[in-house]
Structure 1
Amino acid sequence: MIMAVAVPISPAKITTTKPIIITQFPDNPKPLILEKCKTVKDLNQIHAHLIKTRFLSDPSVAENFLESAAILVRHQPMDYAKSVFEKLNDPDSSAYNVMIRALTLKNCPHEAILMFKKMKENSVQPDEFTFPCVLKSCSRLRALEEGRQIHAQVMKLGFSFCGFVENSLINMYANCGEVGVARKVFDEMSERDVFTWNALFSGYTKSGCWREAVDLFHYMLEIDARFDEVTLVSVLTACGRVGALELGEWVREYIEANGLEQNVTLMTALLDMYAKCGRVDVARCLFDQMSRRDVVAWSAMISGYNQASRCKETLSLFHDMQKANVEPNEVTMVSVLSSCAELGALATGKWVHFYIKKKKLPFTVTLGTALLVFYAKCGSTENLIEVFENMPRKNVLSWTVLIQGLASNGQGNKALKYFDLMLANRIKPNDITFIGVLCACSHTGLVEKGRALFVSMSRDFNIEPRIEHYGCMVDILGRAGLLEDAYKFIQNMPIMPNAVIWRTLLASCKVHKNVTIGERSLKQITDLEPLHSGDYLLLASIYSSVGRLEDAIRVRSEMKKMGIKKTPGCSSIEVNGVVHEFFSEDTANPESEKIYAETEKMMKKIKLAGYVPNISDARLEAEEYDKETSVFHHSEKLAIAFGLIKTSVGTRIRISKNLRVCTDCHNATKMISKVYNREIIVRDRIRFHHFKDGSCSCNDYW
């Protein structure tokens, strides 16, 4: 006799639906169970009738009732279904299948696998409907070993030629990272439907096998296999990753020819493909033509602008997204933060951080690390450390970003302390982490510490130094004035030094006014690759700094003859959420007259306080009487003057510059910070300079 089981029902789950009134229980209760059973109360009522009429002993009826209890009655836990299942006498494969399917659907993959094991222990033979769900659970858990065992049973029981079982095997292997095995299953199939192809495409995209996905679609076209819109989404994603623009264009033509433009997912994949292939404007045209745009479409377009380094357009589109009342997701936030970081747009990025908190977006490692990068690149070390400390989970990248951020902001000793803390927390550093700690040593002048860490890489962590690590060591020695040591270090490198290594040494020669090694470095760069404007300018600057003006002018003349143009210095400052850009001696800003007047006033004040212009940093072509004015009108001085006009007294001023800060601007900014009692943070191409009370965080060591 099957006993009724009383299941407690919480008040929150009581429904007001009218109970079923059963005047006469049907001979075949299956339609009644499947069509009328909608609530737990209905289940209880029918359950009682099934027990009373002994219908529950009929396997088909038991299966239908179990299906209602486990699957059809929505938003209910599995407790009732489990209690029913446990009371069944000798449940057959159909009953087990219902339970496995329900547990899989309700995201209980571990329990689904345990139910399958119980089925085997009770000598109940699985059928072709058992395997897809249990394999899906293995896929979700990435339980590869269990998946292999189930595959063996599939083969043993002769279900290896069942299409949907094979598709499930492909999904399982692909999701567990065994794409090669998934492909082997695929290749051995005698017949393949569109779901089979999509299963393999899904595996390739999840595993980042983009080229394989592109080649697979070419093969589909060759054999005239049928594909659908799901296939095309995978193909477009792969095209974007490998730059297969020609195939992406073919897919676009197919979409237009078959009237598929209303598929938002497909159109989003198409615009994402164009963006990743560098055709951002084409992507924007598609975006503007979409009749309906969901958060994924907005995020794809914002991400496209960000990846193309069109940061202002990233932020502008994000503002449009807000106006359209579309809630951003993690992908949106990461792209926006990245653009804020590149622009040095601290106020906008802080608003994004506040928005993340307000909307209670999940504080994932990816989002947390994006915030770390943002605050590091904006020179806000207080916020950088605060975000890091509040991250619920941290990985090696999070630690590395923190260390690099502190190092570039002149807090090398603190960066090294966090490196020690990282090791104490048993987080194994990677090769990028060591670039960060070596940079910390470089910016802080810790030569011996740098040497020790360089040796420790391979000795203690089995990390073979790459060209970047050798470059860091050259920088450490060069910045410290040990130019001969740096030169010998390069000559003794076990790998061929590249132009960047010699360029690093050349930059140090400029700082320490060493003409001989500077000329040798330039010769090496010339042998490796064509010189660019920065190389010429560094050598010209070295000549100028030691009074060899004729040589400096000769180098600049060579640049002119070869058509090599100097990259113009550009400094930007964010005021009230708007980023303003300045170039040396330009008058594009509508308030140029006020800015230049403020600049003149500012320079007079700091000259009275002891500042002496370094005219070697002036334009070489400038006349002698005009050299002082030339250095006064460098882009960062104009940006600082604008900041003094537009911000209140005592407010911190933040500047971003695309080139390295010159000696004159560095000296001037130190004095401005003292005279105006302002903290000024300048991010140049190399690092951050925090100016306060007449001194800089770099200790004049940059």
Structure 2
Amino acid sequence: MAVASLSLFPAQTITAITTISQFPENPKTLILQQCKSRKDLKQIHAHLIKSQLILNPSVTENLLESAAILVPNTMDYALSILRRIDEPDSSAYNVVIRGLTYKQSPQEAINLFKQMCENMVAPDEFTFSSVFKACSRLRRLVEGEQIHAQVVKRGFQSNEFVENTLIHMYANCGRIVVARRVFDGMPKKGVVAWNSMFAGYAKNSCWEEILNLFSKMRKLDIGFDEVTMISVLNACGRLANLELGGWISKYVEENEFKGKLTLVTSLLDMYAKCGQVETARRLFDQMERRDVVAWSAMISGYSQANRCKEALNLFHEMQKACVDPNEVTMVSVLYSCSVLGALETGKWVHFYIKKKRMKLTVTLGTALIDFYSKCGSVESSMEVFRKMPVKNVFSWTAIIQGLASNGKGERALEFFRLMRENNIEPNDVTFIGILSACSHAGLVDQGRTCFLSMSKDFGIERRIEHYGCMVDILGRAGLIEEAFQLIRNMPIKPNAVVWRTLLASCRAHKNVAIGEESFKQITELEPAHSGDYILLSYVYASVGRSQDALRVRYQMREIGIKKAPGCSLIEVEGAIHEFLSEDEVHFHSKEIYSAIEDMMKRITSAGYEPNFADARIDAEEEDKETSISHHSEKLAIAFGLIKTTPGATIRISKNLRVCTDCHNATKIVSKVYNREIIVRDRNRFHHFKEGSCSCNDYW
């Protein structure tokens, strides 16, 4: 480093030096360890000038490191010191470039590198490493390639330190093939180089390539470390490769890695993603120390396995353990709340996010939109959407799907128009939401237009789900023949779901011939389930063919097909209550059945007539009325009526499609008790209010 000028001091007023009584001959420790603030920095800097130690290049470098990296909010001070060095060498530039990169100013780091080159200061391996990291963070491929050319020109292409950051840069810029070319061209590859390549593949979701590279690593008998295993376990979880994940688990145990928190957390996460939730929980319970990542991994594991009640229970334990959740935790908890319809718990999570001033990222905002939509609180989901500072295609798709499933078809199309005005390109999932919106709102012409627009205007290939939506649009509108021909002319083989959609339309529009053909096609593709038999029996019943309807029901019983038990969930005071049809195990059973009896009397007086076709198939004639009055959603509604304040909205989630009898009964309950009742079934939301439903009696 060139000798520094004695005028090396920013143009600032120097405060009196009061804290340093005796200055050491070698001030390195003082500068790097005891300098904690701008005031300390200025005091030490003044001493260096007074004692002329500032003329020592290594001392000036220590001062630069303290200002650029160690002391907060003093980057301007570091730059002013650098500017006042007569002829700074690469070491001085390296410290400041590294500080700018680490302190989230990568563009300034690249600018300083360019200035360094203009001043004819030769960069070294540390310069290249730092500036590649800056290019990586900004995804500046062009600058990265130009600096790569300098690396080759200056003979650093065989430097492992430089090439590791070069791999990161190319991988982060989406050029994973080039990153691999750099890796393969390295004459000597240490474990750090292998880990850089694993990290690059992970960044680009190339999970198979990680496992292939690890296999090669093992064949070459190259020792791997904790970082390697974490990358490979991540890939095992994504690919559900339990065999290799189990091998690493055994290796961890045999080689005494059990105390490594990050590694054990990765093992836990791998088991959870592979569906081995109990094994993951055992690992979790054995951990001596659990950080937020471990808690989040276990909560996420429960969520992914749809064991959402356990996910929320564990979240409550996390709160008792005084571990602050992060964004990953919140997304998993919100997903569990959305599945369970746990609005109050989810609202508390949203309050916590606001209270902790957590950034409303695209991921977190989209999770909130999805949660509120799936709890039937559309206005809240739109409020979150409006407040999101950044929105991507997934955010727009979530709000469109939420509006569609809640019967707000026109609003969903309006948001689609806004999406296009904001130059956000829709994807294939967006169109599923758009087509669903058209279906629920009876917008046939708009549905046809959107269906054609997919490939014509956006180049999106139609999937089976898009054809299913179009069949639903036509079927709901009574265009059964057109829907049937659409299925016949599909370029891809229709699945049972598509035929089942048509069968449901045949029931609503009393088309026996196509209904029978739909049922036949379903049974040829897969064993028909109870819902298919029930739908066909409804088709017959709708045209007065009661004997045929009974025949189908008895056929179902003879084959041994049982109707899946209805299960309804309701959240009251933050607790989730679960009800099965004719359930008597709930600790409030007596009170609930008393309320059911009163509710059925009141709605019968208001015009309710039971639909005995929805009774248990094995119920005797005299028991059918009791059977339908004890359906799970009726039990949940009765519980809601006695446990919530008068006038409060009742929210129910059901695992099956709402039956005709419960739909009719709930409409009258909403009027008699002056309650809004929101039911989310397997297909959609039903907003019952003042005796009518948002689905217009077709679902």
Give TM class, smaller chain: over 0.9
SS for the counterpart of 2:152 is helix
What one-letter code is carried by the residue in structure 1 that aligns with 2:637?
A: I
What one-letter code is carried by the residue in structure 2 that aligns with 1:414?
A: R
User: Is the contact between residue 4 and residue 47 of structure 1 (CA under 8 Å) also seen in structure 2?
Assistant: no
Q: Tell me, yes or no, if structure 1 residue 121 matches structure 2 residue 118.
A: yes
For residues 662 and 34 of structure 1, the distance between their equivalents in structure 2, rounded to whole angstroms, comes to 72
What one-letter code is carried by the residue in structure 1 that aligns with 2:335?
A: S
Structure 1 residue 3: Cα displacement: 4.8
User: Is the contact between residue 45 and residue 63 of structure 2 (CA under 8 Å) also seen in structure 1?
Assistant: no
Residue 551 to residue 32, structure 1, CA distance change in 2 (3 Å):
closer
**Among 7, 10, 15, the residue aligned to 1:7:** 10
**Among 506, 514, 524, the residue aligned to 1:527:** 524
What one-letter code is carried by the residue in structure 1 that aligns with 2:331?
A: V
Residue 150 to residue 510, structure 1, CA distance change in 2 (3 Å):
same
What one-letter code is carried by the residue in structure 2 that aligns with 1:7?
A: P
For residues 102-501 of structure 1, the aligned pairs below 5 Å read: 102-501=99-498
User: Is the contact between residue 337 and residue 345 of structure 2 (CA under 8 Å) also seen in structure 1?
Assistant: yes
For residues 382 and 460 of structure 2, the distance between their equivalents in structure 1, rounded to whole angstroms, comes to 27
Aligned position for 2:694: 697
Aligned position for 1:518: 515
SS for the counterpart of 1:129 is helix
Structure 1 residue 164: Cα displacement: 0.8
1:103-155 Cα shifts (integer Å, max 9, x gaps): 22333221221122112222222223321111111111111111111111111
What one-letter code is carried by the residue in structure 2 that aligns with 1:135?
A: F
Structure 1 residue 41: Cα displacement: 3.1
* Aligned pairs, number: 693
What one-letter code is carried by the residue in structure 2 that aligns with 1:4?
A: S
What one-letter code is carried by the residue in structure 2 that aligns with 1:585?
A: E
Aligned position for 2:19: 18
1:154-188 Cα shifts (integer Å, max 9, x gaps): 11111111121111211211222212111111111
C-alpha RMSD of matched pairs (Å): 2.4
Structure 1 residue 6: Cα displacement: 4.4
For residues 139 and 425 of structure 1, the distance between their equivalents in structure 2, rounded to whole angstroms, comes to 28
User: Is the contact between residue 20 and residue 36 of structure 1 (CA under 8 Å) also seen in structure 2?
Assistant: no
Aligned position for 1:624: 621
Q: Tell me, yes or no, if structure 1 residue 552 matches structure 2 residue 549.
A: yes
User: Is the contact between residue 179 and residue 197 of structure 2 (CA under 8 Å) also seen in structure 1?
Assistant: yes
Aligned position for 1:652: 649
For residues 633 and 288 of structure 1, the distance between their equivalents in structure 2, rounded to whole angstroms, comes to 40
1:598-621 Cα shifts (integer Å, max 9, x gaps): 212211111111122222222333
- Percent identity over the alignment? 64
For residues 289 and 450 of structure 1, the distance between their equivalents in structure 2, rounded to whole angstroms, comes to 54
1:270-318 Cα shifts (integer Å, max 9, x gaps): 1000000000000000000000000000000000000000010001000
For residues 479 and 493 of structure 2, the distance between their equivalents in structure 1, rounded to whole angstroms, comes to 21
Structure 1 residue 368: Cα displacement: 0.9
For residues 314 and 228 of structure 2, the distance between their equivalents in structure 1, rounded to whole angstroms, comes to 29
For residues 68 and 232 of structure 1, the distance between their equivalents in structure 2, rounded to whole angstroms, comes to 35
| TM-score, normalised with respect to structure 1 | 0.94
What one-letter code is carried by the residue in structure 2 that aligns with 1:575?
A: V
Aligned position for 2:588: 591
User: Is the contact between residue 439 and residue 472 of structure 1 (CA under 8 Å) also seen in structure 2?
Assistant: yes
SS for the counterpart of 1:678 is coil
What one-letter code is carried by the residue in structure 2 that aligns with 1:40?
A: L
User: Is the contact between residue 20 and residue 42 of structure 1 (CA under 8 Å) also seen in structure 2?
Assistant: no
User: Is the contact between residue 35 and residue 71 of structure 2 (CA under 8 Å) also seen in structure 1?
Assistant: no
Structure 1 residue 582: Cα displacement: 1.7
1:565-586 Cα shifts (integer Å, max 9, x gaps): 3211111211111211222222
User: Is the contact between residue 131 and residue 165 of structure 1 (CA under 8 Å) also seen in structure 2?
Assistant: yes
Q: Tell me, yes or no, if structure 1 residue 665 matches structure 2 residue 668.
A: no
Structure 1 residue 484: Cα displacement: 1.4
For residues 506 and 28 of structure 2, the distance between their equivalents in structure 1, rounded to whole angstroms, comes to 88
For residues 339 and 604 of structure 2, the distance between their equivalents in structure 1, rounded to whole angstroms, comes to 33
SS for the counterpart of 1:227 is coil
For residues 95 and 293 of structure 2, the distance between their equivalents in structure 1, rounded to whole angstroms, comes to 35
User: Is the contact between residue 529 and residue 561 of structure 2 (CA under 8 Å) also seen in structure 1?
Assistant: yes
What one-letter code is carried by the residue in structure 1 that aligns with 2:7?
A: A
| TM-score, normalised with respect to structure 2 | 0.94
SS for the counterpart of 1:484 is helix
Which deviates more, 79-88 or 566-575?
A: 79-88
Which deviates more, 158-167 or 458-467?
A: 458-467
User: Please, which runs of 5 or more residues in structure 2 have no aligned partner?
Assistant: none
Residue 17 to residue 164, structure 1, CA distance change in 2 (3 Å):
farther
Structure 1 residue 267: Cα displacement: 0.8
What one-letter code is carried by the residue in structure 1 that aligns with 2:152?
A: M
User: Is the contact between residue 248 and residue 273 of structure 1 (CA under 8 Å) also seen in structure 2?
Assistant: yes
Structure 1 residue 22: Cα displacement: 4.9
Aligned position for 2:639: 642
Aligned position for 1:564: 561
Residue 65 to residue 590, structure 1, CA distance change in 2 (3 Å):
closer
Aligned position for 1:45: 46
Q: Tell me, yes or no, if structure 1 residue 506 matches structure 2 residue 517.
A: no
User: Is the contact between residue 33 and residue 46 of structure 1 (CA under 8 Å) also seen in structure 2?
Assistant: no
User: Is the contact between residue 3 and residue 87 of structure 1 (CA under 8 Å) also seen in structure 2?
Assistant: no
User: Is the contact between residue 101 and residue 112 of structure 1 (CA under 8 Å) also seen in structure 2?
Assistant: yes
Residue 519 to residue 22, structure 1, CA distance change in 2 (3 Å):
closer
Residue 129 to residue 579, structure 1, CA distance change in 2 (3 Å):
closer
Structure 1 residue 31: Cα displacement: 8.4
Which deviates more, 408-417 or 539-548?
A: 539-548
What one-letter code is carried by the residue in structure 2 that aligns with 1:392?
A: P
For residues 442 and 196 of structure 1, the distance between their equivalents in structure 2, rounded to whole angstroms, comes to 53
Structure 1 residue 485: Cα displacement: 1.7
SS for the counterpart of 1:2 is coil
1:488-514 Cα shifts (integer Å, max 9, x gaps): 222222332222111110111122232
**Among 602, 613, 623, the residue aligned to 1:605:** 602
Residue 197 to residue 9, structure 1, CA distance change in 2 (3 Å):
farther
Residue 606 to residue 31, structure 1, CA distance change in 2 (3 Å):
closer
SS for the counterpart of 2:125 is coil
User: Please, which runs of 5 or more residues in structure 1 have no aligned partner?
Assistant: none
For residues 472 and 659 of structure 1, the distance between their equivalents in structure 2, rounded to whole angstroms, comes to 19
Which deviates more, 541-550 or 666-675?
A: 541-550
Which deviates more, 159-168 or 618-627?
A: 618-627
Which deviates more, 591-600 or 567-576?
A: 591-600
Residue 331 to residue 67, structure 1, CA distance change in 2 (3 Å):
closer
Structure 1 residue 8: Cα displacement: 6.2
What one-letter code is carried by the residue in structure 1 that aligns with 2:526?
A: E
Aligned position for 2:672: 675
Structure 1 residue 462: Cα displacement: 2.6
Structure 1 residue 76: Cα displacement: 4.7
What one-letter code is carried by the residue in structure 2 that aligns with 1:260?
A: F
What one-letter code is carried by the residue in structure 1 that aligns with 2:98?
A: R
